[in-house]
Chain A
Amino acid sequence: MISCTRCKTPLNTQALNTFALAPCPSCNEPIRADVYAALFRKLPSGHSGTPLQGEQEASCFYHPAKKAAVACSACGRFLCALCDVDLNDRHLCPACLEKGKTKRRIKNLENHRVCYDTVALSIAFISSLFVWPTILSAPIVLYMVIRYWKAPGSIIPRSKIRFVLAFLIAGLQIVGWILVFGGLMTS
């Protein structure tokens, strides 16, 4: 049942898939609801795996009493219907799924990334506003640029412009400090 997101009143059939804003029957808020066939699709029930019928049959690696239904696409272990995880037309065992997530082998399971290019540029930029912190931040930024140059950045492909800018700003800050200290030494 599709409801108004404000007053939680179920919407009329006429209010759905209108491609335009229509008032909610209860709170009168203009609302547009696009409904798709998945709303009426029954959720697939989970498989439990079939028990072994004879000794000739291959068994699941994780459940020796269950019949193997498929082999893991990553490690090749036999899996019963219960252990089989279908992901993007690949059959994976729970261990490979976990490994793929932690080691970032399966891109679709990744849910967090640190973008070191943004961090480096932010540190370089913010510290330059206060001048004095740059004496510490500039070497840190340079280290970050070199250390994480090849590290995966955002999941959305983008250029290395942030790293380049951070490197330039930090380089200029270091040159500035060298000039300041050089001037002080000579005077």
Chain B
Amino acid sequence: MGQYTLWRGRDHLLQIHARWGSEDYKRYYFNDIQAIITRKTDVGKIQNFVTGALAGLFSLFAATSTSGWATFNFIIAISILSILIINIIKGPTCETHLLTAVQTEKLHSLNRIQTTQAVMNQLKPIIERFQGHLAPETYVQHRAELSGTKKKRPQTRLTPSAATVRKHESGRVHLLLFALLSFNGLIVAVGFVLTHVGLTFLGGAVMLMMGICVVVALVKQHESTLQHPLRSMTWAALAYVCFSFICSYIISIGLAFKNPDIVHNQWEMIKLISNTTPWDNGLMMTLNVIALSAAVGIGMPGLWLLRNFRRTHRPLERVMAGPDSVATPKRTT
């Protein structure tokens, strides 16, 4: 909560966190700054995706609803669209950290690549004026010294590096999840031309399996070797599954209110749900279009990314799991 700003002083950087009329200050002296690290993030892309989807959704509502609601939805759509445009103009997002000898602090205000790069370029000569220039060979030399001293330390099995802690993940659950997502897209697409109780049952079962798979996949990908885009896809799948569950619940409640006489008869309810088509009203059409786009937009790219990942990691997996390499080790001396 609140607003972060960064100010340049005579000998320090001042980070101000302002909220509800009070301000907190943090000072980072140029003489103490060891490093400034910025990393590009996908937050901007997610924001664009969400605002784009919402703008599309409200545009659809505006197109399908009557005069009063159409104007209201149109205004909302335009507002969201303007937020999207501003976000696009501001450019990709990033996370910036500042390192000193005693702390690593996040610079919240430096959250756009363009601004951050400009600020880092501005700060570099100022910090170097206080600390002196660091030649690349100096860094290499220091690093070599550091690794040399580290080698002298006795190695213990309890001190693995951060990189080796990551567990290997084959991605089988992810494969199932993305396949189910794609299959769900197919079911939704079929729903545009065909309605049948069997299709409703199949869709429900697929959704349930997707719900289980996405939770298992998220647990498995934690601290694993899976690549970042795949992880993001899994999180997007979770968002889609939650969205689908909520929508299904709302539709069921809406149908129950419309048909109170069949609420207690489950079979009649299922038949009623199976008889609804995307062509019934604007809301159903919108939800089906979103479901179809999400299933295709997450399922297919997910499968493609997973295919690439498994291709690159398969040889290593075989060597590691192969019985020969363990049972008959070759002497190299």
Contacts and interface: CB of A to CB of B under 8 A. Distances in A.
A and B pair up: yes
- Bin chain A's interface residue count: 35 or more
Given A32-B37, A155-B14, A37 B27 contact: no
A4 interface: yes
Interface stretch (A47-55, A62-70, A107-115): A107-115
A75 interface: no
A38 B101 contact: yes
A30 interface: yes
A26 B161 CA distance: 13
B38 A36 contact: no
A13 B39 contact: no
**Most central of B32, B35, B38 by chain A CB within 10 Å:** B35
Nearest to B92: A30
A174 interface: no
Interface string B113-144: 10001001101100110011110101110110
B18 A115 contact: yes
A131 interface: no
B196 interface: no
Interface in B1-47: 7, 11-12, 14, 16, 18, 20-27, 31-40
A104 to B, nearest CB: 12
B162 A9 contact: yes
B193 interface: no
Nearest to B106: A5
Interface residues of B, number: 54
Given A2-B37, A13-B140, A112-B25, A43 B113 contact: no
Contacts of B133: 37
B38 A155 contact: no
Interface in A2-34: 2-10, 13, 16-17, 19, 21, 24, 26-34
A40 interface: yes
B23 A33 contact: no
B interface: dominant SS: mixed
Given A13-B136, A111-B26, A38 B31 contact: yes
B21 A122 contact: yes
A111 B24 contact: yes
Contact of A39 (B7, B14, B35): B35
A36 to B, nearest CB: 5
A173 to B, nearest CB: 19
B34 A31 contact: no
B137 to A, nearest CB: 10
A40 B31 contact: no
B258 to A, nearest CB: 38
A41 B99 CA distance: 13
A163 interface: no
A43 B101 contact: yes
A59 B236 CA distance: 68
A78 interface: no
> Which 6 residue pairs are nearest across A and B when measured between Cβ atoms?
A119-B21, A8-B162, A30-B40, A39-B34, A37-B131, A118-B21
12 contacts: A1-B143, A4-B39, A9-B163, A13-B143, A16-B139, A21-B113, A29-B228, A36-B127, A110-B25, A111-B24, A119-B21, A154-B16
